[in-house]
Structure formats: C-alpha cells, structure tokens
Amino acid sequence: MSLPNFDFETGLIKKGYKVIAGVDEVGRGCIAGPVTAAAVILDPQNIPTGLNDSKKLSLKNREKLFHAIQNTCTFCVAHSSVKEIDQINILQASLLSMKRAIEGLRTKPDFVLIDGNKSPENLESRAETIIKGDSKSFSIAAASIVAKITRDRIMSRLDKEFPGYDWSQNVGYPTKFHKSAILNIGITPYHRRSFKPVHNILYQENI
C-alpha cells in the first residue's frame, strides 16, 4: 500500500513556489450536516509523522495528528451549510467550502493542491487537482484529517441537540439505523432535503 509523501510539494518548491496548501473536504455522501473543507500549509521543516488519508487512520491517530497539525501548521476550516447544499447542489457546495477554506488562510498560498478532479473557480493562487490526493500528498492528507475531525465533532454536538439519529457514530451518513430513525422520528433542520433518502421520505406520496 502506497503512502502519501511530500513529492508534489517538493516539485513545486523547486519551481519557485514558496507557500503550498493542501485542500480536502468531507461529508459529501452524508444526508445530514454541513460539508466541511480544510486547507493546510505544512512547514517543510516540521512535517508531522504518520500523515495519511484520514479514512485510513484510527480515531486515536487522527486525533494525535490533528493536535500535531494545530501546533505546527497554518490551516483554515470552512463549511457549506445544509441550506446551501440544497440550494446549489453538493458538488458546488463542496467547491464553495474549499474556496472558503483557502481564502481563510492567514498566509496566502501561491499554489494549492486539491483532492479530487475539480477545483473551485476564481482562486487567487494557481491550483492542481489530484485524484485520491489524500493518499498521495502530505498536505492534502493533513487537510483530510483536519476536515474530518472538525466535522465529526460538529456531528457529535448535533447528536446531543437532536438525539436518536446516532450522528455521533454515523456522522450523518445514510446508515440503516439513520434512515430508520428518519422514518420514526422525522426530519431535522440538519437533514439535506435534496438528497434522495430524505426527499423520498418527505414526499412518499410522489414515489
């Protein structure tokens, strides 16, 4: 199994780029909660050990790396709300959250590495998309960790506000339990009404 590295960033540094940010988002496949993006600028002289795609890390290691990133890196987290997701669709909302994260960095990057195959429009810096970038680039892997930890914590807080959906465990993904809870309890303000599992329950008479 290949692990992420700093090769993309090193190549850009050799070309004269000084400040490189990695960007990733989480929550696209959920039916509840925001979509969350993070932009991270690593210090090339002080890269946390063990960076990897957040999905491949245990919670303990994610938390440990999140703490290390907080202490050694420049980063920004941003969101697109459920309302925005329903209004402009999940792809556009994901790109919007990425753009907000990039623009929120206190140090402006001159190059951005973005997970996936689409980049937000009208960025001030140059950008490159990398499919499965969170398993190839340290900067994107760091962004995936920050985004996931932040969003998971949001969903745990919302689970206390709206108990019964198991959001602290499923973080808004359409598990069998979650879908069953929607049928039994109903829809919350944090459910994405444009997503099929939610839409079909809301409009069962139209199925």
Q: Which domains does the chain have, with CATH numbers?
A: 7-206 (3.30.420.10)
> How far is the C-alpha of 2 from the C-alpha of 9, rounded, in Å?
17
In contact, 39 and 143? CB cutoff 8 Å: yes
Least confident segment among 14-18, 34-38, 85-89, 194-198: 194-198
- Whether residue 57 contacts residue 145, with contact meaning beta carbons closer than 8 Å, is answered with yes
Q: Are strands 111-115 and 74-80 parallel, antiparallel or unpaired?
A: unpaired
Of 15, 8, 11, 21, the closest CA to residue 78 belongs to 21
The structure's pTM equals 0.94
Measured from the Cβ of residue 147, the count of other Cβ atoms closer than 10 Å reads 31
Total number of residues shown for the chain: 207
The rounded distance, in Å, linking the Cα atoms of 150 and 38 is 9
Above pLDDT 70, what percent of the chain? 98
User: With 60 as the cut, is the pLDDT of residue 106 above it?
Assistant: yes
| Confidence class for position 79, pLDDT limits 50, 70, 90 | very high
Tokens of 158: 């919302």
C-alpha span between 185 and 51 (Å, rounded)? 39
* Contact of 199 with 37, CB cutoff 8 Å: no
Q: Calculate mean pLDDT across residues 13-41.
A: 97
Contact, 94 vs 119, CB < 8 A? no
Assess contact for 114 and 139: CB atoms under 8 A. Answer: no
The DSSP call for residue 127 is: E
Looking at the predicted structure, is the pLDDT value of residue 50 above 90?
Answer: yes
Q: Where are the alpha helices (DSSP H) in the chain?
A: 7-14, 59-72, 82-88, 90-103, 138-161, 167-170, 176-185, 196-202
